[in-house]
Amino acid sequence: MGSVASYFGQLCGGEKKKEEERHLRANDRPFNLSYHYANNAIKTSKYNIFTFLPCNLFEQFRRLANAYFLFLMLLQLIPQVSSLSWFTTAVPLILVLSMTAVKDASDDINRHKSDNQVNNRIVNVLIDGELRKEKWKNVQVGDIIKLESNQFVTADLLLLSSSEPLNLVYVETAELDGETNLKVKQALTVTGDMGMYRIVEATGEVRCEPPNNRLDKFKGTLSLDGQTYSLDNDKVLLRGCTLRNTEWCFGLVVFGGPDTKLMQNCGKTTFKRTSIDHLMNVLVLCIFGFLASMCTALAIGNAIWEVREGSVFTVFLPRDEGVNAALSSFLSFWSYVIILNTVVPISLYVSVEIIRLGNSFYIDWDRKMYYPKNDTPAQARTTTLNEELGQIKYIFSDKTGTLTQNIMTFNRCSINGKAYGDLLDFSGNRVEITEKTERVDFSWNRLADPKFMFHDHSLVETVREGNLEAQAFFRLLALCHTVMPEEKKEGELYYQAQSPDEGALVTAARNFGFVFRSRTPETITAVEMGREVTYELLAVLDFNNVRKRMSVIVRSPEGKLTLFCKGADTIIFERLHPSCDKLKDITIRHLNEYAGDGLRTLALAYKDLDERYLEDWKQRHHEASTAMEGREERLDELYEEIEKDLLLLGATAVEDKLQDGVPQTIEQLAKADIKIWVLTGDKQETAENIGYSCNMLREEMKDIFVVAANTAEGVKEELQKARRKMCPNAADEPSVIKARAGLFWLQRTETVQDEKVDGDYGLVINGHSLAFALEKNLQMELLRTACMCQTVICCRVTPLQKAQVVQLVKKYKQAVTLAIGDGANDVSMIKAAHIGVGISGQEGMQAVLSSDYSFAQFRYLQRLLLVHGRWSYLRMCKFLRYFFYKNFTFTFVHFWYAFFCGFSAQTVYDEWFITLYNLVYTALPVLGLSLFDQDVNDRWSFQYPQLYTPGQLNLYFSKKAFVRCMLHSCYSSLILFFIPWAAMQDTVRDDGKDIADYQSFALLAQTCLLVVMNIQLSLDTDYWTAVNQFFVWGSLAAYFAITFTMYSNGMFLIFTSSFPFIGTARNSLNQPNVWLTIFLTSLLCILPVVAFRFILIQLRPTINDKVRHKMRKEALPVAKPGAPYRKRISTRRSGYAFSHSQGYGDLVTSRKFLQRLPLWSRPALFTQTDSPLAQNQPQHYRTIAEEPEESQSP
């Protein structure tokens, strides 16, 4: 019984017991299943076959209007109340519910397909001592699985062993943190030494932290053979990673499916609704209140009339038995509820769904958002958010794969004062390089990388001519690095680089004739201009964040000792010999040009060493490295000593290739007053470089603040310091406006006001600092400071932090947000934002599957927002204003008529006109307006991005706009009722016969109404098409055709009770005074509108008015060509932008690093429990002589 109760508790959303510690045993499924840990199946869908109908109906009836129409339908089943048939409400309601249900079902079926595709992937699982192929969804916690190269990691695994030396594996974590460079993970020695036979029998126990979303932390212990070993993040492979350059590895499943760190970071799938949806819910509630007050007033009027006048009519209109004035008043209240329900017609929601669907198709069909290279069209994956695209205020963008292409290219270089890489024409002007530009032919080099592209032929000629400086330049690039080579076939080299830019430099050296071929812990083998040369590797002075450089000391075959150094230019220039001053000035000029183009730069230098000096230096280094006190300081002094008086060779410029059109897109969006924040998992240096490349960060900015403190107090101090510099007079506490919003005004909102700042500022904040800044007591400080800045870049952020930043802005700025990304690390951000956009990029499809819209290139975002978004918002607002106007006008005429019919709930129009008014007569014209209208075309939208700002301010449809619609309707209804009434009151036909009867008046009133509505629609239409013309004139033609048909003798004879208006049309519409009345009524309704709009345009023209005026006077702007090259000089240059890990040089010089062992047996590789890499200890320098396993020759 308890289990049944717990099942229903979980089904209804009850919380299950919180896990405090995970305890599992390898190869023991019964033990692990007793803890009821989640298996490896994932679920992103919302419904199943049993829950779809109740859950979907519940979601739909949360829309207040749907619940209202259900109530109305039930009311119409009561014959004493209803004057209209129940099916007039039931049929449209069922249609709306069905359309929405089909759309939701389609969306969820796609999610099910995506889930099944992932859950049914195959992996090798160790079961009963043998490897079996199992589906991912059947993998359980505690299973041992075998992964092979290029496979996705199935679940969160504890790494046990691998095919690589030192039990290393290389993983690509692009879907987790956006970085494409390979990460190194290492198993414990005790598990790595096991052969497969021992792994089969392993019964180790793991105790670790419960499931959480921290990607960079893992704490646990492994108990094996009576010993306990510490576990950390370096020994764990996370789901979402891809195994690279590793033949195989074994792992123990620690977390599966929803418990994995990737899924913990994904966030919940929420039901997204637009701000217009929320506003309509509030307006519908107000309309209900207004409807109730109208019905109450008319019911009171009915009671008064029944008491004062009703008794006179009982002679020929006797009351039903038991009905008195009070009961009659009560029944008339509900009768008027039915008659006046057209203030919120159900056709409104049908039309809204059709409009959204139509505007979604425009996005799907847009050829200008189609990417032919990958055959990828833009896709609107949801149809309910189109108009929200026209109201975006904040964009949160990933960097890697979203702004950039994930491709590093060796772009330009400066060697001995000469710049290479630019192409110049005869007049010395720079020529833009395109895909058609002739490439350098590297066919002379059999080891060249065929994918490498370079266009400056002079550099190849310089190298091949034997220029010593050029050859030394590329020799340095081939020797000074930590890249691992792999040569599966003769001549086919693959480089395992820990950072993509370092890989690009080694590949460049390879193509220019200096090929890094292989390495041992003591040697580096290179092929220099076709000749194989082996250098003795004496030492690696490794990179760290303070040094910002790395060096190697090598001995050539001729016995020459050389120190090669590369690093951040500012660091290298401080250590140059005075003889290089002139060359340094020329190189700085080149570096400024490279930085102006957003390239990542490094300076290269070398130094010849004396044999005796090096021996003495090594001895002193050994003493310093074994010192008990002041070790770090003494080592730093030694590094400074040997890395001075360097001779400059030149500089490199590597391009982190942006996607096409990214800077222009960001510039356009900024002009539209859209703020862009970059949230990336990359390191700060890399993120800043891209910020400059995209022109988000500019040297003209007054200041760029960097927040990198490691304590909450430090973060607070840095944020306050930045804020006070931007706005010295700002109050200490933010200006917060508290209000109520939502249905029944139950939701409390707090809005932080924008603060004015003179000039442009930028903010860069690190992930560890952001963690403090997102705490409750610092949230406001972060928000205030960030919103003052033109550009915000958050680096080293986790997926969850991305979502938290989005939610912070949503909560306190009350602005519409958009998140755009391309990897699994962006999913939580995409789900948290009002609108999520997925890039179909190189990091898989997780972001696309969770998104609302998707396309292949970031540059398409400007078209999505400035064209489709703006048009959708404009069309929806016009539709709503017109729809409410026409229905309030229609309903108010009933209200005025009640005073002339004894409040008897008699309709002023023919019943068939009431039925067809919204379904036939006015449906198509307003749909034409809502699907085809555009104030300006797409080119003018790009020419003037400022046209986008009214949407951000909700200027086109708001509560104020709604009240104006009501007042306009009230005026129109007074004209439409009293002018025909006064004109018909004492009117006779040409032949003297009377036409002042109810049916003639009803016909005249409804004809005037329809004519005025069509003229008003025509005034609202800015862009006429043949379809619009057809719909407007067709609806009027249909009205007269249907009216004459239904009022004909034939219809009366066939259906006498249904068509009582026999002959009314031909009796009235052949009279000139009737047509004069129609003309007069239309004139009185429309003339004030025209006059008001004319005066408004003259006195207070909007940006739309100005652009449309300019559009009429000027020719259509041509599509902007590719911007001509503008040479930009920058004194700001990137530092050492490599994504290195400190201590990686130690791994390179490890004696047994390159020994690969078979799968079935593996002896101990080294004596210590774990390597320094796994312990993440600083390893600044290491010589071969220090290797403990074997004796070394110096």
Residues marked active site are found at 398
Whether 23 and 37 have beta carbons less than 8 Å apart is answered as: no
Q: Name the phi and psi angles at 934, rounded to 5.
A: -155, 130
**What is the DSSP code (8-state) at residue 378?**
-
Whether 474 and 428 have beta carbons less than 8 Å apart is answered as: no
Instruction: Tell me how far apart the alpha carbons of residues 74 and 1140 are, in angstroms, rounded to a whole number.
Output: 70
Q: How many helices (H) and strands (E) does the chain have?
A: 43, 38
Q: Measuring CA to CA, how many Å separate 514 from each of 257, 412, 539?
A: 47, 17, 21
Closest by Cα among 706, 500, 679 to 1132: 706
Q: Measuring CA to CA, how many Å separate 591 from each of 597, 601, 648?
A: 10, 7, 13
State both tokens at 155: 């679940």
State both tokens at 27: 């190869």
3-state secondary structure (DSSP) of residue 221: strand
State both tokens at 909: 């129009």
What is the amino acid identity at position 934? Q
445 CB neighbour count, 10 Å cutoff: 19
**What DSSP letter does each residue of 830-878 carry, written as one string?**
HHHSSEEEEE--SS-SHHHHH-SEEES-TTHHHHIIIIIIHHHHHHHHH
HEC per residue, 345-372: CCHHHHHHHHHHHHHHHHHHHCHHHCEC
Residue ranges of E strands in 12-107 = 22-25
Closest by Cα among 811, 854, 865 to 830: 854
State both tokens at 527: 């092929």
Cβ burial of 404 (10 Å; 0-12, 13-18, 19+) is buried
Q: Are strands 523-528 and 531-541 parallel, antiparallel or unpaired?
A: antiparallel
Region label for 851, one of left (φ > 0), alpha (ψ between -120 and 50) or beta (otherwise):
beta
- Sheet containing 242-244, strands listed edge to edge, beginning at the edge strand earlier in sequence: 182-186, 168-172, 242-244
Q: Name the phi and psi angles at 196, rounded to 5.
A: -65, -35
Instruction: Tell me how far apart the alpha carbons of residues 252 and 144 are, in angstroms, rounded to a whole number.
Output: 4
Residues sharing a CB contact under 8 Å with residue 782, sequence separation 6 or more, in sequence order: 719, 765, 770, 773, 774, 808
Closest by Cα among 456, 421, 426 to 441: 456
Residues sharing a CB contact under 8 Å with residue 972, sequence separation 6 or more, in sequence order: 885, 889, 1012, 1085
Instruction: Tell me how far apart the alpha carbons of residues 536 and 521 are, in angstroms, rounded to a whole number.
Output: 9
3-state secondary structure (DSSP) of residue 297: helix
Whether 848 and 840 have beta carbons less than 8 Å apart is answered as: yes
Q: Residue 25 CA to chain centroid, in angstroms?
A: 40
Taken in order 690, 694, 700, 702, the sign of the CA dihedral is: negative
State both tokens at 38: 């989640």
Region label for 634, one of left (φ > 0), alpha (ψ between -120 and 50) or beta (otherwise):
alpha
State both tokens at 275: 């701000």
Number of residues written out for the chain: 1194
Instruction: Tell me how far apart the alpha carbons of residues 509 and 1084 are, in angstroms, rounded to a whole number.
Output: 82
